[in-house]
Amino acid sequence: MKNQNHLKYAFVMLPVLLAACSGGGETKQEAKQEESAQASASPEGAAGPREIVVEEGGSIQAAVNEAKSGDTIIVKPGVYKQSVYIDKPNITLRGLRDGDRWAVLDGETVKNDGIIASGHSTVIDGFYVKGYKGNGIMTQGANNFQILNNHVEGAFYGIFPQYGRNGLVKGNTVTGSEDAGIYVGMSDNIDVLENVAYGNVMGLEFENTRNALMARNHIYGNASGIALTIVPGLPVKDAYSQVIKDNKIEKNNIENFAPSSSIAAGVPSGVGIIVVGPDDITIENNEIAGNDNVGVLVTDLLTFGLSNDPKVDPYSDGIKIMKNTWRDNGDNLSGMLGGMIAAASRSGVEILSMGKDRDSCLLAEDGVDALGVDQWTACDPSMTKATFDTAMIKDGAEEPVYSPEQKGRLTYLAVCTGCHAYDSVLHGPSVESIKALYADNPEGLVQYAANPVRKREDFPEMPAQSYLGDDVLTQIADYILYDLGE
């Protein structure tokens, strides 16, 4: 979920402490590593896709810079204290594993982003990503992406696909995220399958997302298990057609440890699934057990406390709760939500609806205690999604070529907005003040972003963003100075 203080800016999104607060810059050591990656590549001019091998201690970014569409980058086991940015299409980035030895990307709790990809048909497979303050793995504007078999530990968002169409997130383990372990934002036709999420504020989340499937995931030991949300103030104004099926959602009861400035700080603990605003949701054949306050909570944006957006329908409509397995939910009430349920002289509640909703239904099951669903109807068994197996597009999504202006905007959203709000101070100076300081001087802004020098003691030191390259930094600078806010 995004920071409510910044939702009024249509193009400014949270990831608190995303990339630009600290870390992410290329060091001298990483620059020296380029020769290692290049020396390991297949001979230049070889026909067809190549494999580029990064030896332990080499530069992954150097391999990405060399790669062409269709190439596969193989990263050998070892520790890589780097950030990686993929801005070209059809690149496979694969980490090798030898027993317990992974290809480890380590942000040392200093760098902000492990892997960011904006290229269509990117595959990110087999990495152990830890110690990043913003995103472990992020795709931004990439269609037909795959994020597979990674272990992500300790980030604000563990895995974060945004503005994508036709993507697969499968076989990953995510833990320690201060927001959502896997967070799908403003995307379409996404499958989230067979992942494990534990020890996060929220295990999995669909935000402002359409046509999506969560299936066969194990979500346990988070504050809340699954969140289905629509957040006001963002460019995408709706969320619908989501299927949540065949998941194991249990014992999501840990204390919420999100930063107090984020919406996620208001997510109640002890909830299996929370639905805030999206429409046409099917919840079926899940095992929902041992969540202290309630199995499924359905509410609307206003009741949840989010600001009003006149272009967003705030109500959760068309919720369909079909046959699920329920066990031991609502038996250990705690916090504000638990107090509200207790005030109704209830406990052991599996399903709770608060606020307003329309056209929702519940498949009656013996022994399932529901509260606030008097206006709901009985679901027809024909509404089942039991055989629904993918939300992805059979022949793939189109892969548009982005203009420099579009690339600048997408990268700005991914890299800059965690520390720079438009007209207020977040962690760094406001974007308005940056625009005033560098008016008609994009070259100066590029030079500073690549090699910043601390100018004011009241702001944290900005890390070098040179790993993005001069072309991308120029696109960001042009977007900030000439398009943003105009």
Same fold, 24-383 and 404-483: no
C-alpha 262/C-alpha 62 separation (Å) is: 35
For residues 252 and 262, give the distance between their C-alpha atoms in angstroms, rounded to a whole number: 20
Identify the CATH homologous superfamily for domain 404-483: Cytochrome c-like domain (1.10.760.10)
What's the pLDDT at 412?
Answer: 84
Query: Smallest Cα–Cα separation from 471: which of 416, 400, 405?
Result: 405
- As a whole number of angstroms, the distance between CA 19 and CA 414 comes to 8
The ranges assigned to domains in the chain are 24-383, 404-483
Which of left, alpha, beta for 66 (phi over 0: left; psi -120 to 50: alpha)? alpha
Residue 302 in 3-state DSSP? helix
Written out in words, the top-level CATH class of the domain with range 24-383 is mainly beta
The predicted structure's pLDDT at residue 315: 93
pLDDT at site 423: 76
Rounded CA separation 173/115 (Å): 16
pLDDT in tens, the chain (486 residues): 755 433 333 322 323 323 333 344 444 444 445 545 544 555 555 568 999 999 999 999 999 999 999 999 999 999 999 999 999 999 999 999 999 999 999 999 988 899 999 999 999 999 999 999 889 999 999 999 999 999 999 999 999 999 999 999 999 999 999 999 999 999 999 999 999 999 999 999 999 999 999 999 999 999 999 999 998 888 899 999 999 999 999 999 999 999 887 889 999 999 999 999 999 999 999 999 999 999 999 999 999 988 778 899 999 999 999 999 999 999 999 999 999 999 988 889 999 999 888 999 999 887 799 999 999 999 999 999 999 999 999 999 999 998 888 888 888 877 787 667 777 665 678 889 999 999 999 999 999 998 888 887 777 777 778 878 888 899 999 999 998 876
* 460 torsion bin: left (phi>0), alpha (psi -120 to 50), beta (else): beta
Q: Would you give the DSSP letter of residue 277? A: S
User: pLDDT tens-digit profile of 144-163?
Assistant: 999 999 999 999 999 999 99
Q: Which of 120, 24, 128, 124 is nearest to 73 (CA)?
A: 124
Alpha helix positions (H), 344-441:
404-415, 431-437
- Within 8 A by CB and 6+ apart from 435, the residues are 480, 481, 484, 485
CA-wise closest residue to 167 among 383, 391, 374: 391
Could you tell me where the DSSP H helices lie in 218-269? none
- Could you tell me the two tokens for 83? 């950030």
The pLDDT score that the predictor gives to residue 90 is: 98
For residues 162 and 153, give the distance between their C-alpha atoms in angstroms, rounded to a whole number: 19
pLDDT digit string, tens, across residues 377-407: 999 999 999 999 999 999 999 999 988 888 8
Q: For residue 460, give the amino acid letter.
A: P
What amino acid is encoded at 18 in this protein? L
